[in-house]
Amino acid sequence: METLFTKIINREIPARILYEDDQVLAFHDIAPQAPVHFLVIPKKPIATLNDVTEEDKGLLGHILFTAQRLAKEQGCEDGFRVVMNTNENGGQTVYHIHMHVLGKRQMTWPPG
């Protein structure tokens, strides 16, 4: 299933790309909710976290590792938040798993 993120991966839609390797792509969010707000997405199309298989464990670790490395590069050493929404009740709007990374402001709890 092709999504907005598939089109970004394929360069059919422009994005402000922060990082890319053979497994993931990271780019700035188009509607940032914090001074630093970017997404890390796998190039492999996986609709939701519910669709992850055991073979995807390494990929998920790579997404998280990339998120923390880029957060540090963006000046978020003092703290940042990572969020992965799953399905409609979890707030997911694009059905291609993705990790939001938000920083450079105080986060509150509960998130909403």
Question: Taking 80 as the threshold, does the pLDDT of residue 1 lie above it?
Answer: no
**Structural domain includes residue 108:** no
CATH of the domain at 19: 3.30.428.10
Is residue 110 in some structural domain?
Answer: no
Domain count, the chain: 1
Half-sphere exposure of 81 (CA within 13 A, CB side): 16
- The residues carrying an active-site annotation are 98
Is residue 112 situated within a structural domain?
no
Domain presence at residue 38: yes
pLDDT, tens digit, 9 for 90 and up, residues 59-93: 999 999 999 999 999 999 999 999 999 999 999 99
Residue 33 located in a structural domain? yes
At 28-45, the pLDDT tens digits run 999 999 999 999 999 999
Q: Which domain holds residue 24?
A: 4-103
Q: CA triplet 51, 3, 99: central angle to 5 degrees?
A: 60
Number of neighbouring beta carbons within 10 Å of residue 67 = 22
pTM score above 0.85: yes
Examine residue 109 and state whether it is found in any structural domain, yes or no: no
pLDDT given for residue 111 in this prediction: 79
